Structure 1
Amino acid sequence: MSAEGGTAGYIQHHLTNLVVCADSAKVDGVCKGFWSFHLDTLLVSGVLGLVVFGLMAMLASKASAGIPSKGQNFVEMVVGLVDQQVRDTFHGRSALVTPLAITIFVWVFVMNAMDLIPVDFLPFVAQKVTGNEHLPFKFVPTTDPNLTFGMSISVFFISLFMGLKVKGLGHFMHEVFTVPFGAKLAPVNFLFRVVEEIARPISLSLRLFGNMYAGEMVFILIALLGLYQLPLALPWELFHILIITLQAFVFMMLTIVYMSMAAESH
């Protein structure tokens, strides 16, 4: 696939989201306001979520205590792996943590896995379907910081809810103002707590975004080699399978750790 503007134009085209917004959010005809939506991120992540969780729900409805199918075996293996990580890490009692961890691991993994599809294939299909040869469309949702921040902020609010539910408002506020230096240094404790809470969603989101964005950039640079890309593309593709799996696992494990920290008492 070729893009106007040479190498720089090709790279910029692949790293540009399909943005839609209301007229009030446009500046000189370009969407720059707060209420701008990355339509490609929303569509791809939504479709992937519906497909993968719909498939898991279908397999669960047909689960048998007898000889399981290959699909049932695979889903049970994934669920068992995540459930064991929750049992080893989360020491409280909650019906929320395991489903949350499974959702995060599976969803982040399938979104990351879009990076394994050749960088020009899906954009080419989208351009042919829409008839717009210059249509920007990013097919890897986790290379969009809006999505990774959205997921990390969701985890942040769920962990706050977990802390309030398990400890109660009084105990929760007591920890905020007395840990780690005691009640005499309540303002310092509160400041440290605010910094700690803000750092969690930022680090959680930027870790996933940074790794996936860098991986996508490498694929784009390799694609610029044309017919000479195969010796580099195949090894990077195989190595990237490890990266996308590891990033999904890390995001899941940190979520479990945050839930455990919220539920435990100092």
Structure 2
Amino acid sequence: MAATGDTLTSQSYIQHHLTNATIGEGFWTWHIDTLAWSILLGLVFILSFRSVAKKATTGVPGKFQCAVEMIVEFVGKSVKETYHGESKLIAPLSLTIFMWILLMNCMDWIPVDWISTLTSLAAGDSWETIEKGQSHVYHKIVPTTDLNMTFGLSLGVFALMIFYSIRIKGVGGFLKELYAHPFNTPWLYWFNFILETIALIAKPVSLALRLFGNLYAAELIFILIATIGVFQLPVHFLWAAFHLLVIPLQAFIFMMLTIVYLSMMSEKH
């Protein structure tokens, strides 16, 4: 943990836990911990929901099947009330976004030292080295505290926004909404284009930064709690209890804004 001498300082401890495990250099730097955990949690969602769908019965459902049905019904209702176009993709896309982000956010509940310590031991570091804060292994287990992950999600939504807009309105209709709205006057086309382009780009940027900012701040607080020492667990669980609201709320906001943005791009003006 990159400490000075044999002393582990709070600054080096926090810096260590906020650093991703990477391979490559420059533009081709890969955050392998973010990739590994996001793929794993995506598979958990797909395989668990697929298992429930295959074993679903018409009788009294089990607890897990009941929970899955409630989530699917909740997401389906949100899509019907918000999305005003016609697409078979929006509902499964919204469910995937909600559950994937929810699972990634839930990794924030795991105490920050548990997985990183196990990773360091598996990599060959001694317990003494880890206690001194001199481990060479970095590992962040919350993918949504990585700006690359949140921007990856938002850019995927942005690509779908452009796709749906061009598919429904055509290239001409898409461009006309950029230069002829809100002031349909030729001498203000240049102003419309600047205004609408900024508004369009702001959507994925705000999506990414909102999710990243909330989860990064929450993770930082968990790390600060871990520096307390022997009394960290009671405080950790108190903050985790408060986090019960934050984690699903951020997944819900990302999902709802995705539905709203796609609905806006699907409407003809």
Tell me what 1:213 maps to: 216
The higher relative CO (CA closer than 8 Å, separation ≥ 6) is in 2
The reply on whether 1:64 has 2:57 as its aligned counterpart is yes
Tell me what 1:149 maps to: 151
Higher alpha-carbon deviation: 62-71 or 148-157: 62-71
2:206 corresponds to which of 192, 203, 206: 203
- Letter of the aligned partner of 1:236 in structure 2? W
Structural mapping, 1:1-266, within 5 Å: 4-5=3-4, 6-21=9-24, 31=25, 33-132=26-125, 133-184=135-186, 185-266=188-269
Please give the per-residue CA displacement for 1:192-224, whole angstroms capped at 9, x wherever unaligned: 111011111111000000000000000000110
- Letter of the aligned partner of 2:88 in structure 1? A
Q: Distance in 2 between matches of 1:57 and 1:159?
A: 27
Q: Secondary structure at the match of 1:52?
A: helix
Tell me what 1:28 maps to: none
Q: Secondary structure at the match of 1:255?
A: helix
Q: Secondary structure at the match of 1:16?
A: coil
8 Å Cα contact 1:177/1:183 also seen in 2: no
Q: Distance in 1 between matches of 2:250 and 2:63?
A: 25
Q: How many residues align?
A: 255
Tell me what 2:128 maps to: none
Tell me what 2:129 maps to: none
Aligned identity (percent) is 48
Q: Distance in 2 between matches of 1:190 and 1:135?
A: 48
Higher alpha-carbon deviation: 97-106 or 229-238: 229-238
Shift of 1:3: 6.4
Shift of 1:170: 2.4
Q: Distance in 2 between matches of 1:54 and 1:165?
A: 32
Shift of 1:120: 0.4
Q: Distance in 1 between matches of 2:152 and 2:43?
A: 18
Q: Which runs of 5+ in 1 are unaligned?
A: 22-30
Q: Distance in 1 between matches of 2:2 and 2:238?
A: 26
Q: Distance in 2 between matches of 1:79 and 1:128?
A: 40
Q: Which runs of 5+ in 2 are unaligned?
A: 126-134
Shift of 1:51: 1.5
Q: Distance in 1 between matches of 2:16 and 2:112?
A: 11
TM-score (norm 2): 0.91
- Letter of the aligned partner of 2:80 in structure 1? R
Tell me what 1:25 maps to: none
Please give the per-residue CA displacement for 1:205-257, whole angstroms capped at 9, x wherever unaligned: 00000000000000000110011224422221101111111100000010001
Q: Distance in 2 between matches of 1:201 and 1:189?
A: 20
8 Å Cα contact 1:113/1:244 also seen in 2: yes
- Letter of the aligned partner of 1:182 in structure 2? N
Q: Distance in 1 between matches of 2:46 and 2:256?
A: 20
